[in-house]
Structures are given as structure tokens and as C-alpha cells.
């Protein structure tokens, strides 16, 4: 092999069945080496460069991929997703975009300089077509569900999820989580909770089309509607509605967690909900139309989210956030006796603004009703300087969430890979 430039290298494993390959850019060609051998592709021989994003089943994340085609029909593939293989039936992917993107930009420049006839274009991953079809199907089903009785639709989807949910891949994760969280429970008890989880999830799916109709809380009504509160929670909700200044509300994937947006949006003034959008744009747009009626602004959880949240809090907004998901760069907390990662962002915001922190959850009740529970403002632990202690505060919040889940385990989303 000739002497490629040693500083322009990139390592990647495309899939579980391929070896890790080292790519290097030389003056005139792209070189690669793996345990299967070596190869090269001259820049001048590249006829087409295709760039697109890929996604893997069961994940929302997308990764850039580049396919190089030469005149003889050979294809060379590079991508930002580095495959780490399978662990407990789950495909593990490492995002190497930080190294991949500058490598590909330089590669494109070398190909363009060596071959003015090379075609550069975009392509679509096979899952993109499935996503588009799935998005169309969701929108159709969502709008159809909105036209029928919401309770009947919820009963039907709950029955379907109880019947077929246990055949889905996520059921294995749920079962393993339940056994680890409740080692004292019998197999029959674990199965009862799993069936309840699938029942609740089916109802949540159906209720997406009716969220604005489900939230019917009005403190002036003598008789409660679907949303009920005990006297203490009602007093806290009304106090939060009229309070001035920033406030933070944490929640979890309990009951119909989407209704928390309406609880936060009930507050006078500016409110916001931090959320992770669905991977399929059509679904995100459709849900956005319903969520917009909550009066809360939905803030996409991305690199710009923190700036938007801080600006809103400076204006005295109320911000809600679900805190029971895995966060790879988070702080260590103990949840059901096991260490996992929790987002530190919530506590960091509380530390910066020294504002009240409340918990909120939605509990599913019989006959299509929901109970909204609002906690007292928590007394966050503080460090020696009197500032809110981020790690200790997230542990306190995680403990509160664990208490909620223990009370109604069938209403929490055990499908999450919370422990990794």
C-alpha cells in the first residue's frame, strides 16, 4: 500500500457481521484495511457519491452514511454509526459523527478535485420509505380515532395491546426490568403488571387523538370531570397557576403522561414542555397540532434546547420535563436498587435560577378518569456554598419517581432501557 496521509483516518464497523475497518485518505485514493484484507479506491474512479441518513429499528437516532460508487459497479460504504454488536438482544450503536463528518467533507473535496464528472447526490435509506408509510398510517389512524368515541377506542387498543404486546420485542425488556425491580414478586404478579403496562400503553395511543378533550379541569365546576384532584393538589395547582416567577415541574412516564402538558399549560403566563420528537416527521407534525391546544410551548430536546429553556425561565416561565429516561451523559442515581443515569439538566436549571421545584404525575383511574397529583415544592439538597446540589437533587427526584412507580407499577413504561 502507498503512503496515505496518516492524519486523515476513520475507523468504523458497519454492522455486526463486518470487521472494524480503518479508512485512510491518501493523495490520490481512499485506502482501507481490516482483518479481511486491504483495498483502495482512486478518487478519479469514483462515479457517484450518495449521502443520506440511516436509522435502526427501535431507535429514534439517525446517522449520516456515505456510499461511494465506482465505474465498475463497486460500492464502498462509510457511516457515522459504529456497530458495537448485540447485548441482551439489543443492538448497540456508537455515534462517531465528530470524527466522521470532517473526514467525509475532506473526502468529498478530494473526489471533486480529482474527478469533475463525479455525481454528488442524496439518497434514502430503506427505513425512510417505511417511516413515510408508517407516518401516513399513523396520521390516518389518528384522525379516524378522533372521529369515534374515545373511550371505545381506548378499550379496543388496550385489548389489542394486552393480546399482542407480549409478542413485541420490547416485552423482553419490560419483563427483565420488572424481575430486577421486584425480585420478591411471583411470575404471576410480574405477568399481571406487564399486562397492565400494555393495557395502559394501548389506552395512551388511543388517547393521543383526544388529549384536548380529556383535559376538562375547571375549578369553577361543582362536579369533577375526567380530571380529578385531591384538595391539596388542587390548592397547589391553583397556586402555581397564579404564581409569578420561574418554576420547574418534573414528571415521569406514568398513566397518560401527555396530560402533564395541559397541567403545566394551565399556569398563567408563559409555559414550556421539553420533549423528544418522534423519529417520523409526519407523526411529530400530527401530534404537534393536538399538543398546541395545551397552551404550553413544546421545546425540542436538542442542542439548542438549553438556551430556549433558560431564556424562558428568565422571563418567569413554568417549564415541565420528564426525568425518568436514560441520559448517557447524566449523573449516577439509584433507581430500584440499581445505578442508572439521570439527566442533570433539570437540577442545573434549578441551581441556576434557584426556583421552586414541583413534581407532577397523572394516575389513570377507572371509567376514563385521571387524577393529577402535584407535590409540594421539594427542599433540594444544597452544597457547602448553599447552591443546589445537582447529583443529590436528581437522586431525590428519582426517589420520588420510584415511589410513584411502586404505587402503580402497571402504569409506568417498563419498555425503557433505564438501566444500562
Asked if residue 409 belongs to a domain, the reply is: no
Residues 91 and 163 in one domain: no
Asked if residue 43 belongs to a domain, the reply is: yes
Residues 104 and 165 in one domain: no
In which band, very low, low, confident or very high, does the pLDDT at 6 lie, cut at 50, 70 and 90? very low
Residues 13 and 117 in one domain: yes
Residues 45 and 13 in one domain: yes
**DSSP, res 254:** B
Q: What is the pLDDT of residues 186-204, one digit of tens each?
A: 999 999 999 999 999 999 9
Boundary (domain end) residue, out of 152, 177, 205: 205
Which of 86, 87, 112, 107 lies closest to 17, judged by CA?
86
Asked if residue 66 belongs to a domain, the reply is: yes
Asked if residue 4 belongs to a domain, the reply is: no
Contact 285, 312 (CB under 8 A): no
- Specify the number of domains making up the chain: 2
- Give residues with Cβ within 8 angstroms of 230, minimum separation 6: 371, 373
Which of 275, 276, 273 lies closest to 264, judged by CA?
273
How many residues appear in the chain?
420
In which band, very low, low, confident or very high, does the pLDDT at 240 lie, cut at 50, 70 and 90? very high
Boundary (domain end) residue, out of 181, 205, 229: 205
Q: What's the confidence (pLDDT) of residue 347?
A: 96
Helix (H, G, I), strand (E, B) or coil at 222: coil
Residues 15 and 92 in one domain: yes
**Angle subtended by helix axes 170-181 and 187-207, to nearest 10:** 130
Proportion of the chain above pLDDT 70, given as a percent: 93
Q: What is the pLDDT of residues 80-101, one digit of tens each?
A: 999 998 775 567 889 999 999 9
Q: What is the pLDDT of residues 167-189, one digit of tens each?
A: 887 899 999 999 999 999 999 99
Average pLDDT over the chain reads: 89
CA 377 from chain centre, in angstroms, equals 27
Residues 83 and 135 in one domain: no
pLDDT at 344 over 70: yes
Residues 100 and 65 in one domain: yes
DSSP 355-390: --EEEEEEEE-GGG-EEEEEPPPP---B-TTSSB-H
Q: What whole-number distance in Å separates Cα of residue 387 and Cα of residue 101?
A: 39
Asked if residue 330 belongs to a domain, the reply is: no
Asked if residue 225 belongs to a domain, the reply is: no
Residues 139 and 115 in one domain: no
Residues 119 and 133 in one domain: no
Boundary (domain end) residue, out of 168, 183, 205: 205
Residues 55 and 92 in one domain: yes
* Beta strands 370-374 and 227-228, pairing class: parallel
Residues 141 and 113 in one domain: no
Domain of 174 in residue numbering reads as 129-205
Asked if residue 296 belongs to a domain, the reply is: no
CATH of the domain at 50: 2.30.29.30
Amino acid at each position: 500500500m502507498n503512503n496515505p496521509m496518516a492524519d486523515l483516518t476513520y475507523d468504523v464497523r458497519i454492522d455486526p457481521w463486518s470487521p472494524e475497518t480503518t479508512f485512510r485518505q491518501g493523495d490520490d485514493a481512499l485506502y482501507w484495511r481490516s482483518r479481511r484484507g486491504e483495498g483502495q479506491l482512486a478518487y478519479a474512479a469514483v462515479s457517484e457519491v450518495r449521502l443520506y441518513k440511516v436509522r435502526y429499528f427501535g431507535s429514534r437516532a439517525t446517522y449520516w452514511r456515505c456510499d461511494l460508487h465506482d465505474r465498475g459497479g463497486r460500492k464502498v460504504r462509510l457511516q457515522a454509526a459504529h456497530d458495537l454488536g448485540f447485548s441482551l438482544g439489543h443492538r448497540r450503536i456508537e455515534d462517531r459523527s465528530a470524527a466522521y463528518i470532517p473526514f467525509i467533507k475532506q473526502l468529498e473535496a478530494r473526489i471533486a478535485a480529482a474527478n469533475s464528472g463525479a455525481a454528488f447526490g442524496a439518497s434514502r435509506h430503506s427505513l425512510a420509505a417505511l417511516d413515510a408509510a408508517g407516518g401516513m398510517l399513523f396520521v390516518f389512524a389518528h384522525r379516524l380515532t378522533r372521529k369515534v368515541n374515545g373511550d371505545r377506542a381506548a378499550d379496543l387498543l388496550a385489548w389489542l395491546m394486552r393480546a399482542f404486546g407480549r409478542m413485541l420485542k420490547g416485552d423482553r425488556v419490560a419483563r427483565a426490568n420488572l424481575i430486577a425491580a421486584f425480585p420478591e414478586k411471583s411470575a404471576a404478579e410480574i405477568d399481571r403488571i406487564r399486562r397492565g403496562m400494555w393495557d395502559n400503553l394501548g389506552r395512551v395511543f388511543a388517547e393521543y387523538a383526544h388529549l384536548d378533550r380529556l383535559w376538562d379541569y375547571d375549578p369553577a365546576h361543582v362536579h369533577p370531570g375526567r380530571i380529578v384532584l385531591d384538595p391539596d393538589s388542587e390548592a397547589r395547582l391553583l397556586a402555581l397557576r397564579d404564581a409569578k416567577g420561574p418554576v420547574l415541574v418534573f414528571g415521569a412516564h406514568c398513566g397518560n403522561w401527555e396530560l402533564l402538558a395541559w397541567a403545566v399549560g394551565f399556569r398563567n403566563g408563559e409555559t414550556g414542555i421539553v420533549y423528544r420528537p418522534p423519529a417520523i416527521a409526519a407523526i411529530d407534525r400530527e401530534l404537534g397540532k393536538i399538543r398546541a391546544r395545551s397552551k404550553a410551548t413544546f421545546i425540542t430536546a436538542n442542542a439548542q434546547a438549553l438556551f430556549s429553556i433558560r431564556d424562558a425561565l428568565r422571563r418567569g416561565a413554568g417549564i415541565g420535563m420528564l426525568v425518568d429516561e436514560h441520559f448517557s451523559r447524566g449523573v449516577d442515581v439509584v433507581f430500584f436498587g440499581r445505578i442508572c443515569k439521570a439527566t442533570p439538566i433539570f437540577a442545573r436549571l434549578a441551581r441556576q435560577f434557584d426556583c421552586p421545584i414541583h413534581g407532577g404525575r397523572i394516575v389513570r383511574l377507572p371509567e376514563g378518569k385521571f387524577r393529577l397529583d402535584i407535590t409540594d415544592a421539594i427542599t433540594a439538597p444544597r452544597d457547602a456554598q448553599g447552591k443546589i446540589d445537582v447529583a443529590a437533587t436528581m437522586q431525590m427526584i428519582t426517589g420520588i419517581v420510584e415511589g410513584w412507580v411502586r404505587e402503580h407499577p402497571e402504569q409506568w413504561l417498563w419498555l425503557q432501557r433505564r438501566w444500562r
